[in-house]
């Protein structure tokens, strides 16, 4: 074999979408092609398919491009595994990989798997404020039909959630129907369609959970209805059948914000044996997998404090939820969400790129005026302004001067410290030694001439000396 191809390898895909438990190995196949939309093709790991396999080399940049396209296809890429196997003996390499995956408890196998497995985190955006979805991939015009925009979502603090495949909280939306408009509330989320494009999922508010009708082929018993209405979780797994697809085992919960019934595939939930420093007993682990609520004591928080909580798989949260204190009923959870929404009111979480603290939002909601720095306009220029909420229009208003102070014939009585020189020169006709020869007004926070202004002053001085 040519030495240039000694380190050629192929990628083996482990598809875990159909496995029934964590120990089971997913379907293994070799990547043969992927297009720019992330559409993946694979072939069985057989010598006869050697010509179809997509080969990579550590010295080229093909892997990075492949991973960028691969991650476009999946909302939850961690349901899959990708492993490097040498290209010169694929069939045997995949057989060895399967054996290692079947015996993952063996420490030697764990290290070998780690050495050849690709970590998706290495290829997800890592820069500051990066999101799982590239905003450039989104057609923001689709929000206009609901009376929303990218800017409104950013102000409400919901944009980051959507760009990370999460649902927003309840938002007011306006749906045009013929010559009229229906005003309601809904939770929104981005999803991908069959072509890999970003689409908009609208989870509308319902008056109450629809439990008297079959749900994905399953008719809820009276006991199941009581559990859902009492706790928000079914408390067990059931088999459901989507309109187009095979039946699967699922956890079922009710979204306390919208009253929507949510199903989550049981094989997509990974339940660890150890949670927050506590190793679950066999019975606790079994109960959690079955969907039951489990009380766990002595867990350790991030700040090192010990705490107790009830754990249960929640389909709406797509994993295990922590319930503190007495187990909250569905009605209590609804009231909690409503109370949080009322507290927030129309106070944005972000203003011109600046994330507001909870204390700042509380102050704005109480009617106070804030002087905010480090905001940025659309052209990337810094903004320093007074901000106060307009309660009638339920939106923030920006002021150059403090609106809480009386204005005396256009003169400002109270301004920010860093703007006092600017105000004194521009508004009161005063001057200081550094800027006394300037003819143009000072800018925000300016106390000294700019380089350009200094150059003009020097040129004028030279001309004056010649005369």
Q: How many Å apart are CA 260 and CA 270, to the nearest integer? A: 24
121 bridge partner residues = none
Regarding pTM above 0.75, the answer is: no
Whether 66 contacts 56, CB under 8 Å? yes
3-state secondary structure of 396: strand
- The mean pLDDT of the chain is 80
Cβ atoms within 10 Å, residue 292: 16
Q: How many Å apart are CA 113 and CA 110, to the nearest integer? A: 5
Q: How many Å apart are CA 175 and CA 187, to the nearest integer? A: 14
Which of these ranges, 3-7, 216-220, 312-316, 395-399, has the smallest mean pLDDT?
3-7
Question: pLDDT tens for residues 25-48?
Answer: 889 999 888 765 667 889 898 888
Question: pLDDT tens for residues 298-345?
Answer: 999 888 889 999 999 999 988 899 988 765 666 666 666 555 554 445
3-state secondary structure of 51: helix
- The DSSP secondary-structure symbol of 1 reads -
Q: How many Å apart are CA 43 and CA 259, to the nearest integer? A: 43
What pLDDT, on the 0 to 100 scale, is given for residue 78?
63
Q: How many Å apart are CA 202 and CA 187, to the nearest integer? A: 6
């Amino acid at each position: 074999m040519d030495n240039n191809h000694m380190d050629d390898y192929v990628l083996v895909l482990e598809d875990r979408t159909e496995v029934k438990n964590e120990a089971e190995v997913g379907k293994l196949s070799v990547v043969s092609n992927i297009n720019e939309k992330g559409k993946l093709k694979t072939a069985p790991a057989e010598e006869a398919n050697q010509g179809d396999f997509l080969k990579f080399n550590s010295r080229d940049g093909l892997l990075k491009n492949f991973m960028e396209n691969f991650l476009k296809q999946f909302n939850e890429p961690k349901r899959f595994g990708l492993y490097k196997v040498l290209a010169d003996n694929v069939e045997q390499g995949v057989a060895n990989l399967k054996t290692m995956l079947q015996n993952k408890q063996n420490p030697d196998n764990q290290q070998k798997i780690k050495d050849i497995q690709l970590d998706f985190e290495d290829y997800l955006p890592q820069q500051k404020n990066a999101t799982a979805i590239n905003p450039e991939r989104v057609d923001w015009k689709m929000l206009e039909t609901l009376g929303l925009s990218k800017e409104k979502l950013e102000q409400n603090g919901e944009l980051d959630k959507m760009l990370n495949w999460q649902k927003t909280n309840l938002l007011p939306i306006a749906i045009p129907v013929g010559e009229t408009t229906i005003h309601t509330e809904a939770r929104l989320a981005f999803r991908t369609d069959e072509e890999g494009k970003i689409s908009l999922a609208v989870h509308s508010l319902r008056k109450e959970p629809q439990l008297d009708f079959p749900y994905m082929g399953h008719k809820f018993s009276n006991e199941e209805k009581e559990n859902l209405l009492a706790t928000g979780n079914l408390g067990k797994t059931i088999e459901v059948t989507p309109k187009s697809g095979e039946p699967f085992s699922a956890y079922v919960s009710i979204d306390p914000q919208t009253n929507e019934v949510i199903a989550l595939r049981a094989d997509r939930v990974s339940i660890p044996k150890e949670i927050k420093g506590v190793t679950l007993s066999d019975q606790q682990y079994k109960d959690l997998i079955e969907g039951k609520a489990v009380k766990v004591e002595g867990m350790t928080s991030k700040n090192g404090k010990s705490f107790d909580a009830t754990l249960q798989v929640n389909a709406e949260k797509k994993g295990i939820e922590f319930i503190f204190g007495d187990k909250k009923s569905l009605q209590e959870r609804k009231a909690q969400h409503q109370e949080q929404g009322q507290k927030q009111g129309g106070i944005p979480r972000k203003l011109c790129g600046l994330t507001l603290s909870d204390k700042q939002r509380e102050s704005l909601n109480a009617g106070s005026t804030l002087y905010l720095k480090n905001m940025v306009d659309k052209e990337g220029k810094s903004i320093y302004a007074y901000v106060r909420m307009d309660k009638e229009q339920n939106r923030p208003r920006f002021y150059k001067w403090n609106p809480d102070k009386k204005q005396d014939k256009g003169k400002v009585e109270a301004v920010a410290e860093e703007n006092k020189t600017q105000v004194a020169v521009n508004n009161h006709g005063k001057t200081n030694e550094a800027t006394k020869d300037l003819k143009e007004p000072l800018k925000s926070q300016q106390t000294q001439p700019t380089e350009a202004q200094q150059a003009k002053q020097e040129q004028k001085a030279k001309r004056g000396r010649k005369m």
